Amino acid sequence: MTELLVVRPGALTTVQDRGRPGYAHLGVPRSGALDTAAFALANRLVGNPPDAAALETTLDGTGLLALAPTVVAVTGAPCSVRVSGRPAAWGAAVRLPAGAELEVGPAESGLRGYVAVRGGLAVPPVLGSRSADLLSGLGPPVLSAGMRLPVGPAGPDPVPWADVCGLPGPPAELLLPLRPGPRADWFAPASLAGLWRAEFRVSARSNRIGLRTEAGPPLVRARSGELPSEGMVLGAVQVPPDGLPVVFLADHPVTGGYPVVGVVPPGPALDAAAQARPGTPVRFLRSR
């Protein structure tokens, strides 16, 4: 079986696929790649099926040694790509000879990159998914130096002209459509109305669990007391006691006790949230 040897793991590199939906009733988060479009593009470029597992890097890339010939593609946050010291293409299929070292450099903008390998990463699945879940600890561990990553059987040759138009770059301003509810009535009407005019910033405390905001006007409650824990979905915007919204991402808990002011629907906005660096301005746009 083809393997990749981890030479440089990077700050936080995990194996991700499309996640493990359908287990919230057991307390298991969905998990999966945060930037779903960039993840899907990486797999298409190497000829993989859309659910093949790939690597998700965070900020400073990773380094891998090919122990057999293979094909890889790097997408997501723009970065330098080198093969045994020579420049290679970002956002395209790249052939690695046996013994070649792939160096995925630091993100030049954005936050998260995706490294797909032809055949997909064949780590053992857990509940039908190969995704690493940082909240529950399910799935493969975070990459470390010396780890060997098994690669599945290669599929058809990549299509060289696939996706030549690419994807939007990381956001200079994060605009999040927000469908109000189910607990919008827990907030003062004037404060809720001001949400659509407010500007927040992405907090450095953000992670795969949630995008935390800072610097904006706190949302003021209209009622006190506590909510019983209730189910949370991807994109739910929960408001903790400090009044600053938190957007739940792929590794979010399945229940929560703070009121949810609204939900950001899955799609391009949550993909952009995956690439928003700390300090990026955030605005919520009222949506239906």
pLDDT digits (tens, 9 = 90+) for 241-268: 999 999 999 999 999 999 999 999 999 9
Per-residue pLDDT, 148: 98
Report CA Rg, the chain. Answer: 20
- Rounded to whole angstroms, what are the CA distances from 225 to 5, 67, 222, 257? 52, 58, 10, 11
Q: Which amino acid is at 281?
A: P
At 22-68, the pLDDT tens digits run: 999 888 999 999 999 999 999 999 999 999 999 999 999 999 999 99
Q: Taking the CB of residue 21, how many other CB atoms lie within 10 A of it?
A: 14
At 180-224, the pLDDT tens digits run: 989 999 999 999 999 999 999 999 999 999 999 999 999 999 998
Give the start-to-end residue ranges of the domains of the chain.
3-150, 174-286
- Which overall architecture, per CATH, does domain 174-286 show? Beta Barrel (2.40)
Average pLDDT, the chain: 94
